[in-house]
Amino acid sequence: MGSKWALVLVIFMFVSLEGCLSQISGCWDEERVALLQLKHFFNDPNDPNWFVEGEEHKSDWPVEGERNSDCCQWKRVECNNSTGRVIRLNLQRARGWGLVEGYLNASLFSAFEQLEELDLSGNSIAGFVDNGGLDKLPTLTNLESLDLEGNMFNNDIFSSLNALPSLKYLDLYGNSLNETVDLQGLDSCKNLKDLNLGYNQIEKVVFPKGLDKLPTLTNLEFLDLRGNMFNNDILSSINVLPSLTSLYLSDNRLNETVDLQGLYSSKNLTDLVLSYNQIEKVVFPKGLDKLSRLRNLEYLNLEFNMFNNDIFSSLNALPSLKYLDLDGNRLNETVDLQGLDSLRNLEDLRMGNNPIEKFIFPKGSTGLRKLETLDLSGLNVINGSSLLQSLGSFPSLKTLDLSSSKFSDSTTNRDYLHNLTNVEELILDESFLHISLLQSIAAFTSLNSLSMFNCHINGILGFQGLPNFKNLMYLNMDYSNLDINVRQIIGEMTSLEFLSLFNCGLQGTLSHLGLCEFVHLQELYLSRNNLMGTLPSCFANLTSLQVLDVSSNKFTGDISLSSVKSLISIQELRLSDNHFQIPLSLAPLFNLSKLKKFYGENNEIIYAETESHSSVPKFQLNTIMLSCCGDGGMLPEFLHHQHDLQKVDLSHNNLTGEFPNWLLENNTKLESLVLANNSLAGLLQLPNHSLMGLTTLDISHNLFQGHIPKEIGEYLPSLTSLNLSRNAFDGKIPSSIGDMNSLHSLDLSFNQLSGKIPEHLAESCTSLQLLVLSNNNIQGQIFSTNFNLTNLLRLQLDSNNFTGRIPDSLSKASNLAGLYLSDNKISGGIPSWLGNISSLEDIIMPNNHLEGPIPLEFCRLDILEVLDLTGNNISGSLPSCFSPPSITQVHLSKNRLDGQLKEAFNNSFFLVTLDLGYNRLDGRIPTWIGRLTHLTYLTLSNNNFEGEVPTQLCKLKQLRLVDISHNNLYGHLPPCLDVTALHDSDHDIVSPSSISMPPIDSISMPPIDSISTPPTVPAYAPNSGPPMRKEETVEFITKNNSYFYQGKVLTGMSGIDLSCNKLTGLIPQQIGNLTRIRTLNLSHNNFIGPIPPTFAKLRQIESLDLSYNNLNGTIPHQLVELDSLSFFSVAHNNLSGNIPTSPHFCTLGDNGFDGNPFLYGLTLSKSCNGTKSPSPMPRAATDNGEDNDLFDMDIFYISFTVSYIIVLLGIAAVLYINPYWRRSWFYFVETRMTSCYYFVVDNLPRRLRH
């Protein structure tokens, strides 16, 4: 019988063990299902930017249908190895960034019965659905840690936490807690040790008590109340926390006298932080024995309050204090440290940013004997010698910080610092020092670290230089002006291991610096100097060197012949921005087995076809930067042997071949690949496996073609920046790009892409900030209603075939800064919601079919810088309230705007370009235009403006181009229109040798895509990312030669066009002072009087048109000296006298002198000096048909006569050859003659017939 029971027991144990083993073979089914349900709320648990060390081997969360996946192997999930139950769940930022508040279904956590740690931070959770909090889950009894930081929970959260008896850690930092917070909901959390309520809006806290009215949080050790709104009363509430060891109350509203009696029961307190308040005095609690109750306090931070010198007398009751921070208070002049005499354990004292002059320490005192760190940064002392002398009272110092202080007017005796023989680290960064201080620190015989970053020295570092610190290992002198031999400064400190001389003004060669004897150097930084020559051969002695940075100098030479290849310990080599010759193969460095990072960009990259490809490098690089400037060739062969690459940049080298997908396959840790501006061609081939770590891919400016792979989002899901611009890709934009959840920048511009913007992209790329699709063939509406690009900053869709209206869904991009939609077929009105996006800086939508008025809501765009609506059908008047204070460019030409300008732009004081041409504006030019002192380009042409030219234009000293032609202006031209920007003595404008102006009669405002603003104003493009406008090539014709210019050189444009108005009076003599003007057009007005002789000073003018006026007198002979003149017209005036004769002046053509009957002289259409006359130059276009003859009349008469004779001869020849036609012709002539005879006879009067 017993044996039967034993058998049953064995079978039962076997079945139980089998069931147990089946459970621990993977995660529990109910927990797997719960996780997949949680995934619907936490829609981004596979965020590639989220990384925890040790989880590299774990897999992404699967889709819901993959039931067989082991959730213990998922990222963010940790299970108990014995039971297979989930014990840790990290869902930090699992909803992604920028989402609106959400409400979590807490019941989804009911399956996790053994959960110990739950992290829900950074998810914008505002609460729980259906009033179902964690208190409704009796299964979470093992939960010890709950992190809710960075959410939107309010005070109700505490009532949801009363069913967590094991809770030890609770973090509610940065939520929406406010006013009075009642912690009664934590009364069951008796094991709570760590509570963080920092950075909310709390004013008062009520701690829980039990039924016996005794406190329940008796085990609480850490309490963080930083960044709230507590006043001094908070301290009286803390007396119910007897186990408290750390209390943080910084950045609150504590002020004046703070009585710490509320900490009476917190005798275990070790850390107290009261910084960034307005406290003037602290009263520490004492017991019945009148001894301090805070005798265990070790860390006290009082920085940036309002304490004066009296604070020291209050600190003698803290015998265990080790760290004291009084930085940024009101300590001043002489500081008596007697109150610190009892602080025998003090190790770190910080009193920077106080106007301290010196310290007084009681004689015979034995206090502060353990002080090792003293921070006196940010001092500005009058008598620095007294302060330095008093530092002798700190003989145990090891670290002394005098950074950002001023001792430049104080001389220092070496004896002042003789007691500081234990100082090991001295920090003098950004200080103003007297040279004697550097010489006196010779007393620091134990010094091993000296930092003098951006240090200003009053005096000269003589031939003695710095003291000879035999033990010095670290020396940083960045940004110090060292104009003598470095060896003279650093002396015989051959023990140096770290030396940084970044941007120190060093000149000459490295051989003269005497660095080769520092054989212990491990890191040497010499970048941003003026060093030249080759790297010295003696650098081979630096066998311990691990980091060498000589970038941004003027070094030369082939590294194949340099000493670099002998640096056997080198790990990081920076040679960028020099004139080195670097083989693309890096063959000279193949023996440097420890080399990890190589920076060689902006040198001469050499490709040698004869190089051997058989050798294999000993190094395994993780970084290679070789961009610019190579002469072509294939990708280097050594890359095939690299497997640890993380960052690769081979751009601007004219490399050929195909896309190196093998590079991605061989380097699974690759983070950045930049191959821009080469000659790579073929298809874009993806690797055979997903590359989870790749964040940047830039293959722009190449010759790639074909379709962008459909699976690109699946294989490269972690990309944050993708640039495929300026290739020949065609087809549609892959929808899988929407799988790149972390994508910040996408540039597909200047390709041949078609189709529509994928809806998946617009819906899922929630992190996208820059979207550039310009210059393609994309069509359809811009976005659908499923638009979630809420973080979008700049949208560039110009030069496509988009139709329809600007979608209202775009209003979700509430931080949009730039909208670029030019050259499309967009119709409808301008959305009023654009005015609600206060971050907008650029609105650029020219050449579309937009219609309707400019919305009144635009008046809210206070930081708008550029507005371009050129070439649309915008109608109505400009809103009077539209005057953005930051706007620099306005382009509204070629629309249907009407009405008067009124007050629009009257407060836009930084306006540089104002283009309102080709509209229907009327009224007078407003007087407020004189307040736009930065105005440089002004065009109001082809409108209906009337009245006189406003004298306020005379106040605009920056004007360089003015076009108010084709209006109804009358009156005299103001003589004060003496544009100083066009004077020789003023601004440095492009010389005439570098740019020529077209010979035009009517100046048109330069298009915004071909002209740049001066450097003193913001450029017409975003500050970052790809260029937001294309450069247009402009042709200039001067003296029968064509010149082409692009971009910023067009800032040389300058001119005045007042043509086609009704201006009268004399042409002001002052116009002749505009010596840098290139085009002047005063034609088609009613000017009288002579041509001002001062025009002879217009040395750079290329087009001068005075035609169709009433000018009289002679043409000033001085004008023949205008060597740059390529178009000149005085046609149809009343000029008289001889036309000036000059080999140059005679090439301008004779049509410019027509219509002046009393003008005589050389027939300019004939050759000058016996040479062939030049071809006709471009003519001025006018509205008068008299001057628009298409051909010469003499040539017409001759050609007509010759043609007539040829026709007659042809008829005679035909009649002579063909008798039938001849008889018919004569019969026809006879018949016509007979008819004419009888017609005349019948119609003559009878008396004439007789």
The 10s digit of each residue's pLDDT in 77-120 is: 889 888 889 999 998 888 765 566 788 888 888 888 899 999 99
Of 636, 666, 693, the position where a domain reaches its end is 636
Cα–Cα distance for residue pair 398/427, rounded to 1 Å: 11
Res. 336 pLDDT band, cuts 50 70 90: confident
pLDDT tens, residue by residue, 1218-1230: 777 777 777 778 7
Question: Picking from 14-23, 337-346, 569-578, 749-758, which range would have the lowest pLDDT averaged per residue?
Answer: 14-23
- What is the predicted pLDDT for the residue at 1225? 75
pLDDT tens, residue by residue, 1163-1184: 444 444 443 333 333 333 334 4
- The average pLDDT across 377-401 equals 81
Q: Rounded to the nearest 5°, which phi and psi values hold at 54?
A: 100, -10
pLDDT tens, residue by residue, 597-634: 999 999 999 987 555 556 899 999 999 999 988 788 89
Does 516 sit behind a cis peptide bond, omega within 30 degrees of 0 on the bond before it? no
Q: Look at residue 938 and tell me whether its pLDDT is greater than 70.
A: yes
- What is the predicted pLDDT for the residue at 364? 67
Q: Look at residue 1003 and tell me whether its pLDDT is greater than 90.
A: no
Residue type (1 letter), 10: V
Cα–Cα distance for residue pair 797/774, rounded to 1 Å: 5
Res. 1013 pLDDT band, cuts 50 70 90: very low
Task: Please report, rounded to a whole number, the percentage of residues in the chain having pLDDT higher than 90.
Answer: 47
Which tokens sit at 1099? Answer: 């040395």
Strands (E), 441-569: 449-451, 456-458, 474-476, 498-500, 507-509, 523-525, 530-533, 547-549, 554-558
Q: How many CA atoms lie within 13 A of 35 on its CB side?
A: 36
Which residue from 520, 484, 535, 475 is spatially nearest to 502, judged by alpha carbons?
475
- What is the predicted pLDDT for the residue at 161? 83
- The average pLDDT across 43-61 equals 59
Considering the entire predicted model, what is its pTM?
0.78
Of 7-11, 319-323, 726-730, highest mean pLDDT: 726-730
C-alpha 694, offset from chain centre: 22
Q: Enumerate residues 6+ apart whose C-beta is below 8 A from 858.
A: 834, 835, 864, 879, 882
Of 572, 603, 636, the position where a domain reaches its end is 636
Q: Look at residue 999 and tell me whether its pLDDT is greater than 50.
A: no
- The average pLDDT across 727-731 equals 96
Number of neighbouring beta carbons within 10 Å of residue 1167: 13
- The average pLDDT across 997-1017 equals 34
Give the max Cα distance, the chain.
Answer: 174
- Between helices 1193-1217 and 1219-1243, what is the axis angle to 10°? 120
Please tell me which residue, 1227 or 223, carries the higher pLDDT value.
223
Res. 1027 pLDDT band, cuts 50 70 90: very low
Please tell me which residue, 378 or 62, carries the higher pLDDT value.
378
- What is the predicted pLDDT for the residue at 1187? 41
- The average pLDDT across 876-900 equals 93
Question: Picking from 150-164, 460-474, 704-718, 986-1000, which range would have the lowest pLDDT averaged per residue?
Answer: 986-1000
- The CATH number of residue 1107's host domain is 3.80.10.10
Cα–Cα distance for residue pair 738/710, rounded to 1 Å: 11
Structural domain includes residue 238: no
- Domain containing 1159 equals 912-1187
Q: Look at residue 552 and tell me whether its pLDDT is greater than 90.
A: yes
3-state SS, 993-1017, equals CCCCCCCCCCCCCCCCCCCCCCCCC
Q: Look at residue 486 and tell me whether its pLDDT is greater than 80.
A: no
Cα–Cα distance for residue pair 1068/1071, rounded to 1 Å: 6
Cα–Cα distance for residue pair 1013/1196, rounded to 1 Å: 49
Structural domain includes residue 981: yes
Query: Burial, 433: exposed, middle or buried (Cβ in 10 Å; 0-12, 13-18, 19+)?
Result: buried
Which residue from 98, 239, 222 is spatially nearest to 171, judged by alpha carbons?
222
Which residue from 292, 351, 352, 300 is spatially nearest to 321, judged by alpha carbons?
300
Q: Rounded to the nearest 5°, which phi and psi values hold at 1235?
A: -60, -45
Do 918 and 1025 belong together in one domain? yes
Structural domain includes residue 1032: yes
- What is the predicted pLDDT for the residue at 363? 72
- The average pLDDT across 667-686 equals 94
3-state helix vs strand vs coil in the chain, percent to 5:
20, 25, 55
- What is the predicted pLDDT for the residue at 670? 94
Q: Enumerate residues 6+ apart whose C-beta is below 8 A from 755.
A: 731, 732, 733, 778, 779, 780
Question: Picking from 300-309, 697-706, 832-841, 1165-1174, which range would have the lowest pLDDT averaged per residue?
Answer: 1165-1174
Cα–Cα distance for residue pair 798/782, rounded to 1 Å: 11
Do 1216 and 1124 belong together in one domain? no
Do 1138 and 1218 belong together in one domain? no
Which residue from 320, 352, 356, 322 is spatially nearest to 337, judged by alpha carbons?
356
Residue 203 contacts residue 182 (beta carbons within 8 Å)? no
Spell out the long-range contacts of 1209-1216 with Cβ–Cβ below 8 A and sequence spacing 24 or more: none
Do 1029 and 1165 belong together in one domain? yes
- What is the predicted pLDDT for the residue at 359? 84
Q: Look at residue 186 and tell me whether its pLDDT is greater than 90.
A: no
Do 1109 and 1176 belong together in one domain? yes
Number of neighbouring beta carbons within 10 Å of residue 664: 23
Res. 1045 pLDDT band, cuts 50 70 90: very low
Which tokens sit at 743? Answer: 């994508």
- What is the predicted pLDDT for the residue at 1018? 32
- What is the predicted pLDDT for the residue at 1126? 85
Task: Please report, rounded to a whole number, the percentage of residues in the chain having pLDDT higher than 70.
Answer: 81
Structural domain includes residue 832: no
pLDDT tens, residue by residue, 773-815: 999 999 999 988 788 898 999 999 999 999 999 999 999 999 9
Of 636, 660, 693, the position where a domain reaches its end is 636
- Indicate the number of domains in the chain: 3
Do 1223 and 1135 belong together in one domain? no
Q: Where are the alpha helices (DSSP H) in 692-745?
A: 712-715
3-state SS, 355-388, equals CEEEEECCCCCCCCCCCCEEECCCCECCCHHHHH
Res. 443 pLDDT band, cuts 50 70 90: confident
- What is the predicted pLDDT for the residue at 1014? 32
Q: Output the average pLDDT for the chain.
A: 82
Cα–Cα distance for residue pair 972/1244, rounded to 1 Å: 65
Q: Look at residue 211 and tell me whether its pLDDT is greater than 70.
A: no
Do 632 and 515 belong together in one domain? yes
Q: Look at residue 362 and tell me whether its pLDDT is greater than 80.
A: no
pLDDT tens, residue by residue, 623-662: 999 998 878 889 999 999 999 999 999 999 999 999 999 9
Residue type (1 letter), 798: D
Q: Look at residue 297 and tell me whether its pLDDT is greater than 80.
A: yes
Q: Look at residue 935 and tell me whether its pLDDT is greater than 60.
A: yes
Of 310-314, 365-369, 1021-1025, 1244-1248, highest mean pLDDT: 310-314
- What is the predicted pLDDT for the residue at 390? 80
Question: Picking from 152-166, 676-690, 769-783, 1023-1037, which range would have the lowest pLDDT averaged per residue?
Answer: 1023-1037
Do 965 and 1106 belong together in one domain? yes
- The average pLDDT across 200-213 equals 81
Do 1235 and 1125 belong together in one domain? no
Structural domain includes residue 323: no
Q: Look at residue 1017 and tell me whether its pLDDT is greater than 60.
A: no
- What is the predicted pLDDT for the residue at 1221? 75
Please tell me which residue, 1188 or 209, carries the higher pLDDT value.
209
Do 990 and 1039 belong together in one domain? yes
3-state SS, 600-624, equals CCCCEEECCCCCCCCCCCCCCCCEE
Q: Enumerate residues 6+ apart whose C-beta is below 8 A from 247.
A: 223, 225, 238, 263, 266, 269, 271, 272, 273
Res. 726 pLDDT band, cuts 50 70 90: very high
Please tell me which residue, 977 or 748, carries the higher pLDDT value.
748
- The average pLDDT across 313-328 equals 90
Structural domain includes residue 965: yes
Cα–Cα distance for residue pair 271/277, rounded to 1 Å: 17
Cα–Cα distance for residue pair 549/565, rounded to 1 Å: 15
Do 1154 and 1075 belong together in one domain? yes
Q: Look at residue 594 and tell me whether its pLDDT is greater than 50.
A: yes
- What is the predicted pLDDT for the residue at 614? 64
- What is the predicted pLDDT for the residue at 1109? 95
Which tokens sit at 1222? Answer: 């001849």
Structural domain includes residue 306: no
Structural domain includes residue 1125: yes
Do 1164 and 1222 belong together in one domain? no
